Amino acid sequence: MTTNISSHFQSRIPSAIRQAQIMFSERKDKDDIQVVNLAIGNVSLPMYPAMKKRMFELGENAFDDGIINYSPSIGTTEARSAFLNIISSEGVDTSNLHCMITDGGSQAMELMMLGVCGPSSKKPLMLVEPVYTNYIEFSKRLSIPVTTVNREIDENGYFSQVSLTQLENRIIENDPGALIIIPADNPTGQFISQKQLIKIAKICVKHNVWIVSDEAYRQLYYGKNKTSSIWKISEEDIPGITGLRISIESASKVWNACGLRIGGLVTDNKEFHKGAVSEYTANLCANSIGQHIFGAMALESHEKLHQWYAKQREYYKSLMIFLRRKLIDKIPGLIVTHPEAAIYFVIDFRSICDDEFDSFEFVKYCASRGKVNIEGKYFTLLLAPMNGFYLDSNNGKTELRIAMVEDPTLIAKTPQLLNSLYNSYKNTN
Ligand SMILES: Cc1ncc(COP(=O)(O)O)c(C=O)c1O
C-alpha cells in the first residue's frame, strides 16, 4: 500500500536560513573544517544574568519536587509580567495591554496570522520585502496570500524606506488583513524611526488594517535615535489606533535566549487576545521551564534593563562597524549595509560579480565544497542567501545576509574567508 504525502510536504524545502547548516552537516570532510556559521540568528552569548541564575538554580528553588506541569495556555503570570515590564521600561503605560506567552516569537507570529487573516483567508497579509523568511513560510503553511511593498538596496548600502504612497496604494488595491513591520529589521538591519512608524501606522488606521510590529530586536539600534515601538504611539499621535495593534515579542535576541523558546503576543485588543488564547489551548501551553527562567525579567528594575540594553548595543555596534569596514577594504566594490539595527548585514555582490552569480549556489559551494586554509587550519563560512527573503526567489540573487552570532574572533575572519571563497567559487564555475 502506498501512503500519500501531502503536496505541501513534497514541495517543502528547509528555510533559506537553515539550508547552509544542513548542507555542511552532510559533508564528508566536515570534521576537518571549522565552520563560521553566520547564516542563522542563533545568538551565542550568555543569557541575561537574572535568567542565568534561575537556570542554574532549577531543581533547588523551582521544580524541586520534579513535577513539571502545564502552565495555563495564556502563560504564567510572571512570564507575562516580564514582557510587560520590558515594554514599560520604554516609558509605555502597559495597563491596557494584553500579553500571552508562546513557544518563541515564531509561535506568536503564526498565532497572529490566524487572528488577523485566518487559515485559507482571502484577505492577504502585507509584508515589507525583503522580509524575515518565516512570515513567508507561515503564510504558506496557513494558506494565507501575501502582498508586499518593496525596498531596494542602493550603491552606498542603504535600503530605501517604505514608500508611503506605494503602501497606501497596495492597501487600497489588495485590502490586506494586516501590515507586518519590523522596526529593527531582519534581514536588512534597517532601523525604522518612530516618526516613520507613525506615518505607516496612520495609513493602517485610516484603512482599518491591523498594524503588527515585530519587536524582537526592539532595543538593538545603533544610531542616535531611541527605540521605535508601536506601543509608544499615543491616541494624540493617531486617533483611533487603540485596538488595532499587535506586537511580536521574543526572549531570543535582546536577552540572548534563542533556545529557551519563549515569545509573547501582545495586543491592545481584548477580543483578539481572547481569541488567541483560545486558539493556543490546542498547543496546551508554552515551555514551563522557559517561562520560569524568563519570569525573572518581571522583577528587574528598569535601570538594570537599560544598562543591559546599552551593553548589548555597544557589543553589536562596535563589532558591526569593524566588520563593515574590513569587508569593504578586503572586497572592493562589495555593497555592505550600514549597521542601523538588529544583528544583521546584507551584502550585495552585484557591482563585482558576473550575470551568472547566484548567492544560493555560492552558499551551497561554501557549505559543501569550499574551504580556506588559515595558518594551517581549514575554515568555511555559512551565510544566508537572500532569495529566501523575497516572495519571488529569483530576487536577491546577488545578495546574502550575515548574522553577528559567532565569537568575535571568528567573525573577524569573515572578510578573508568571504574573499577567498568568492574567488575560488568564481574559478570553479
Ligand atoms: C524578526 C524576528 N521575529 C521573530 C523571530 C522569532 O524568534 P523566536 O521564535 O526565537 O522567538 C525572529 C528570529 O530570528 C526574528 O528575526
pLDDT value at 17 more than 90? no
Which residues lie closer than 8 Å to 134 by C-beta, 6 or more apart?
15, 106, 109
Tell me, what's the pLDDT at 16?
63
Give the number of the atom of ligand 1 that is nearest the alpha carbon of residue 185. Answer: 1
Domain 67-301 has CATH 3.60.20.10: no
Tell me, what's the pLDDT at 428?
85
Which residues lie closer than 8 Å to 87 by C-beta, 6 or more apart?
94, 97, 229, 231, 247, 249, 266
Angstrom CA distances, 276 to 37, 96, 133, stand at: 35, 17, 23
Q: Which of 5-14, 114-123, 174-183, 315-324 has the lowest mean pLDDT?
A: 5-14
Residue ranges, comma separated, of all CATH 3.90.1150.10 domains in the chain are: 7-46+305-428
Alpha helices (H) in 259-358, listed in sequence order: 270-280, 288-294, 302-330
* Three-class SS state of 151: coil
User: Residue 181's beta-bridge partner residues?
Assistant: 213
pLDDT value at 387 more than 70? yes
Ligand 1 is surrounded, with C-beta below 6 A, by: 41, 104-106, 132, 182, 186, 214, 216, 248, 250, 252, 258, 263
Using the structure block, give the residue that is written with the C-alpha cell 483578539.
272
The span from the CA of 185 to the CA of 196, in Å, is 14
**Which pairing describes strands 263-267 and 178-181: parallel, antiparallel, or unpaired?**
unpaired
Residue ranges, comma separated, of all CATH 3.40.640.10 domains in the chain are: 67-301
Q: Which residue has the higher pLDDT, 23 or 105?
A: 105
Q: Is-cis flag, bond preceding 49, omega within 30?
A: no
Give the number of the atom of ligand 1 that is nearest the alpha carbon of residue 258. Answer: 10
Tell me, what's the pLDDT at 225?
77
pLDDT value at 1 more than 70? no
Tell me, what's the pLDDT at 242?
97
The alpha carbon of 260 and the centre of ligand 1 are apart by a number of angstroms equal to 12
The alpha carbon of 250 and the centre of ligand 1 are apart by a number of angstroms equal to 7
The fraction of the chain above a pLDDT of 90, given in percent, is: 90
**Which residue, among 280, 284, 342, has the nearest Cα to 108 in the 3D structure?**
280
Average pLDDT over residues 313-332: 96
pLDDT value at 13 more than 90? no
Report which DSSP code applies to 219: T
Q: Architecture of 7-46+305-428 per CATH?
A: Alpha-Beta Complex (3.90)
Tell me, what's the pLDDT at 8?
85
